[in-house]
Amino acid sequence: MILIKEQWELGVMRVAGKKLAEIVAGLREKIVVGVPTIDLDRITEEAILAAGAKPAFKGYKVGRAVFPATICVSINEQVVHGIPSKRRVAEGDLVSLDFGLVYGGYYADTAFSVAMPPFDADTARLLDTTEKSLYEAVARARVNNRIGDIGHSVQSYCESRGLGVVTQFVGHGVGRKLHEEPSVPNFGKAGTGYPLKPGMVLALEPMITLGSPRTRVLKDDWTVVTEDGSRAAHFEHTVAITPAGPEILTVL
Ligand code: MG
């Protein structure tokens, strides 16, 4: 069932989204060559707790697997759901961070990718295209459009630029739970799927690769990597559909 949020619920979600965006802004400065990813996890968890919220991912279960950390950190060929560790961010690395918080009973979810200089032109193109494809998706998050319009916009934007669109992981509704209906694929046919209504809140999150879009999960049960070892990027915002148009909640 797709949950339509009331005005007061959107109000709480706006606060949750702003808190998350503030933490992202602070965290960006901490992603530097040499930092162990477990330190980024600790910094983020402390910031979330200091904001009066709780980490959304820590303890999240899929089957028997329990996610052990506050952030997902995925480097280079890792697409999503990487686990923080003692691994240090290195020169040239493409680092994707994905995390959420729950505040007042409502979730906000965001992700972004950055590259550590020096990095190659392909990595720059991947970052730029993936981020822009997120805003293509946001622009389609309008009343009377359909879920397929969002996926179609991401797919056509990225594939026309020679990039791979991950299909095994998708965006989702978000609100009282981290993952609500509907699923929001980054591919699809325009004019198909569930019609978008005011009060729906969606986590839009293109996951895009420099090579094959096919992925597999490592033995840690979480880390998703590209099958061909090509690099991947990931950008995500929590977006409310309002009568006035799309409203990105996870921005300052
Ligand atoms: Mg998400």
Please tell me the predicted confidence (pLDDT) of residue 1.
86
CA dihedral 202, 129, 151, 149 (to 10 degrees): 90
Kindly state the average pLDDT of the residues 33-40.
Answer: 98
pLDDT band at 243 (very low <50, low <70, confident <90, very high): very high
Please tell me the predicted confidence (pLDDT) of residue 232.
98
Q: How far is the CA of 187 from the centre of ligand 1 (A)?
A: 16
pLDDT band at 22 (very low <50, low <70, confident <90, very high): very high
Q: How far is the CA of 56 from the centre of ligand 1 (A)?
A: 10
* CATH number of 216's domain: 3.90.230.10
Rounded distance between C-alpha atoms, residue 154 and residue 170, angstroms = 12
pLDDT per position as a tens digit, 48-101: 999 999 999 999 999 999 999 999 999 999 999 999 999 999 999 999 999 999
Please tell me the predicted confidence (pLDDT) of residue 84.
98
Q: How far is the CA of 235 from the centre of ligand 1 (A)?
A: 9
pLDDT band at 248 (very low <50, low <70, confident <90, very high): very high
Q: How far is the CA of 124 from the centre of ligand 1 (A)?
A: 23
Please tell me the predicted confidence (pLDDT) of residue 53.
98
Residue 2 belongs to a domain = no
Please tell me the predicted confidence (pLDDT) of residue 188.
97
Residue 205 belongs to a domain = yes
Residue 133 belongs to a domain = yes
Residue 1 belongs to a domain = no
Query: 247 by DSSP, 3-state: which?
Result: strand
| Residues, beta carbon < 5 Å, ion ligand 1 | 109, 203
Residue 227 belongs to a domain = yes
Give the H/E segment covering residue 44: helix 37-50
Q: How far is the CA of 205 from the centre of ligand 1 (A)?
A: 6
What is the residue type of 153? S
Q: How far is the CA of 203 from the centre of ligand 1 (A)?
A: 5
Q: Which domain holds residue 135?
A: 7-248
User: Over the chain, what is the mean pLDDT?
Assistant: 98
Overall number of domains in the chain: 1
